[in-house]
Chains A and B, each alone.
Chain A
């Protein structure tokens, strides 16, 4: 099947961005409260009882993971609730697809906008953490690049779900079954090496795990020789999951 993808993808991205510019103040504030609550409650509260992990205070240990997971949450909610609202309630896809824009470009534009939101939210958390003295290395300037790659994978996963679900209520399953377990078992709060082997296997199949494994060394300034493996894993995932959302939306909207 031939894919119709051109510069028009950015028109879809831009459309969402223009709307976002109108509403960002109202939306953005609350999205930052939650990660900071985790940082405070777990880092300070639980951290008081945790001696140190891999030579770091507990707060230092979870701080990079919180960057990665906030980015994931932001992308996941953009590409589920918000995308579904645009498609199903506002009929925006219908309005776009009758212009020279193709459905492929709409889906890709949505993926890129979801990615943008994740990178933006993750980067703001990064800045807050830097201000709190939790970011130890200038290498952390590379974190937004890592987030761009990994948020694209979260966007793909979320858009697959959005292409499938009949009703908006069904997204709670996605968050309960996929996003929350990823959040808890991807090495954000504890090293996955501590888990039983099957659970470790699951962690390895989660894009968030590979993101955390990239973000943490960058935040702490630790060189790792395995970084390229995680990058390769995320790139592979992005490529593998690129076509499924497009396929699903074509079948959903243009039957």
Chain B
């Protein structure tokens, strides 16, 4: 077996040392939200509160994000039509929040369904910070 060259080992060490949440595509989404919100960081705590709360402004069938995504975000959820939903926690589902069009589409739909309005860039960023921290 060939011994890996120094640069390979170095590259591997960098990959292993990178925190889970760091993914260039996800970072770009979060950075764009920071610019829109005019803030330099997001609050996972506020994202958590918003995600787990029961709301009354939206459609009666969907009072909370947890209606479909469940309360254990490392486990999967289920749609109202019974179809399984993959886990939301980035630690168990690293592909999450890496496609900007997908993220935008579902924020628009789900915030409308649950809150009766779109989420602000600050709310979206807080939620992504929360889901990336799990």
Partners in one complex: no
Interface residues of A (CB under 8 A from B): none
Interface residues of B (CB under 8 A from A): none
